[in-house]
C-alpha cells in the first residue's frame, strides 16, 4: 500500500486500490455484483493469499468465509470478501495506530452462542 499514511482517505479507497471491493451495477430489474479488474494485481494476489491463510489461523475470518459460502457465494467471491474485510481491518489499525486484535476485528461478525 506504500509508506504514505495519508494516501488513502478511507477504507473504501484502500479497498478499491486493492481490488477487493466489488462493483455493483443496477439497471431496472437487473442487478449484478462483479469483481474489479482494474487493480494492483500483485497486491490483489497477496491479499488473496493472506485471506486464504487467515481461514486456517483466524476463527473470525473462517466464520465470515463460512457465512459467505452459506449465502451461496462461490469460493473466489467469498475469499475476496474475506480479503476485503482484512483490508478494512488493516486500514482501521493504521488509522488508529493500534495492533490487530482478533476479538475486536471480527466481533460484529460473531455468532451468538446458543444457551
The arithmetic mean of pLDDT across residues 27-36, rounded, is: 75
CB 83 within 8 A of CB 50: yes
The arithmetic mean of pLDDT across residues 66-85, rounded, is: 91
CA distance 3 to 10: 16
pTM: 0.79
CA distance 20 to 48: 9
Say whether pLDDT at 29 is over 70.
Answer: yes
> ∠ CA(32), CA(47), CA(56), 5° rounding?
105
CA distance 29 to 44: 31
Q: Specify the pLDDT at position 37.
A: 67
38: number of Cβ within 10 Å: 8
Which among 76, 92, 68, 96 has a CA at the least distance from the CA of 19?
76
Q: Specify the pLDDT at position 114.
A: 42
Q: Specify the pLDDT at position 63.
A: 95
Amino acid at each position: 500500500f506504500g509508506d504514505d499514511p495519508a494516501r488513502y482517505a478511507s477504507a473504501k479507497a484502500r479497498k478499491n486500490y486493492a481490488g477487493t471491493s466489488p462493483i455493483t451495477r443496477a439497471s431496472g430489474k437487473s442487478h449484478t455484483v462483479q469483481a474489479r479488474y482494474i487493480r494492483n494485481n500483485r497486491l490483489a494476489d497477496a491479499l488473496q493469499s493472506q485471506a486464504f491463510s487467515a481461514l486456517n489461523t483466524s476463527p473470525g475470518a473462517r466464520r465470515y468465509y463460512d457465512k459467505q459460502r452459506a449465502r451461496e457465494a462461490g469460493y473466489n467471491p467469498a475469499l475476496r470478501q474475506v480479503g476485503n474485510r482484512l483490508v478494512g481491518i488493516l486500514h482501521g489499525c493504521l488509522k488508529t495506530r493500534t495492533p490487530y486484535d482478533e476479538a475486536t476485528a471480527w466481533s460484529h461478525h460473531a455468532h451468538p452462542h446458543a444457551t
